[in-house]
């Protein structure tokens, strides 16, 4: 049995409530009677492709930022050691 977090349970309940409201808005009594919007697989593939490209760009950006952070940390350490030498 998998435990559900409070946020997960809240999301689940809100999603189910939205489904029921949609069913009632269409004048149907059961959710099975409602026509679902169909999406072409090509549309989903292009969206997935865009998401993957965005993820790759973010990884490259993250690598650049990590390099800059390493340089900053190194400079910070050098300055810290200079300060400690002068205080002695």
Global pTM value: 0.45
Residues 24-63 have pLDDT tens digits of 776 666 666 666 677 677 776 778 888 899 999 999 999 9
pLDDT of 27: 66
- Other Cβ atoms within 10 Å of 50 Cβ, number: 10
What pLDDT, on a 0 to 100 scale, did the predictor assign at position 64?
96
């Amino acid at each position: 049995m998998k435990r559900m977090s409070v946020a997960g349970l809240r999301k689940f309940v809100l999603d189910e409530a939205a489904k029921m409201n949609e069913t009632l808005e269409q004048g149907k009594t059961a959710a099975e009677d409602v026509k679902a919007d169909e999406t072409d697989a090509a549309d989903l593939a292009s969206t997935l492709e865009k998401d993957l490209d965005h993820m790759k760009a973010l990884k490259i950006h993250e690598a650049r930022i990590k390099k800059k952070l390493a340089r900053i940390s190194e400079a910070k350490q050098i300055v810290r050691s200079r300060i400690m030498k002068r205080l002695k």
